[in-house]
Amino acid sequence: MNHDSKIYIAGHTGMVGSALYKRLKTEGFNKLITATRDQLDLLNQKKTEDFIKNNKPELVILVAAKVGGILANSKYPADFLYENLTIQNNIIFSCKEANIKNLIFLGSSCIYPRNCEQPMKENMLMSGKLEETNKSYAIAKIAGINLCESISKQFGLNYFSIMPSNLYGPNDHFDSNLNHVIPALISKFHFAKINNEKKVDVWGSGNPKREFLYIDDLIDAIMHLIKIDRSELNNVFSKLGSMFLNVGYGEEIKIKDLVNKIAKLTDFDKEICYDLSMPDGTPKKLLDISNIKSLGWGPKTSLDKGLKITYDWFKQNL
């Protein structure tokens, strides 16, 4: 890609999309294509087809998705499956129909089995039963990976996927109990401190381990994959036998330890209670990131640094 390449970011207002848009602009890419939900309903196949056909981007980066934490996925499994399948199918197949050469699809580490061997390698996909609490979301993402790979093989296009670990950072959603663990905890502990509450309830046992990747590190990875020689990427895919890459921090942390970090960050020093009636989700989720590291990328932002930046952004945007 050069700086005059037309790049469509599908989902540019979310945490990933907004950070990606900002980075591309900063680096001098001046033909970025975007559309808000009001301008383009990605659930509408005809409108999506027309948009892609009329704009003819050289690269599509598909980060649009319906996302949420364990509770949201558990409460609305049909919504998560239908909306994610529909959005990604509409965009990916519209790109194929318009002969768009390049597409990057953003997936999730939840694609791996609940009791997957650790760290999770790309070839472990579909090697066991999925975690029940986010099965619908995972199935949609697995379908997206396979659609990109199938189109690439059948039509000779460059469509591939990246699977990030749990993401966090500025512009995340902090305003609902349906959201991911870090924004949910930051919001909960911040307001408990402000309101002088005597305790904070945390869902689950706190024993599961998770891997967290700061948003700017993911954007670094995407930019790196855009810029490297395609033959390098194809060599890795050829060795893997699949066309997706894990992108993670490379280290995990117990949720209890994360809770303690956020309590300290927000100056909350009262009681912390774990609600064992709420689900834990997958026991462990650590990605093997050796393949993307072999291409020259690696994470830079420590969890402590990333949490501080994220909390500072949260306070400034209340």
Catalytic residues: 137
Distance of CA 253 to the CA centre of its chain: 18
Position of tokens 């050469």? Answer: 101
Beta bridge partners of 284: 209
Structure tokens that stand for 12 in this block: 């540019």
Q: Which phi and psi (to 5°) does residue 225 adopt? A: -70, -30
d(C-alpha 50, C-alpha 315), whole Å: 41
| Strand, helix or coil for residue 199 | strand
d(C-alpha 223, C-alpha 27), whole Å: 10
**How far are the Cα atoms of 108, 222, 291, 294 from residue 236, in angstroms, in the given order?**
20, 16, 7, 9
Beta bridge partners of 272: 200
d(C-alpha 297, C-alpha 299), whole Å: 7
d(C-alpha 178, C-alpha 75), whole Å: 9
Give the residue from 218, 303, 216 showing the smallest Cα distance to 262: 303
**How far are the Cα atoms of 8, 170, 185, 203 from residue 32, in angstroms, in the given order?**
6, 21, 34, 40
Query: 222 near 104, Cβ under 8 Å?
Result: yes
d(C-alpha 146, C-alpha 54), whole Å: 26
**CB contact set of 256 (below 8 Å; sequence gap of 6+):** 206, 207, 274
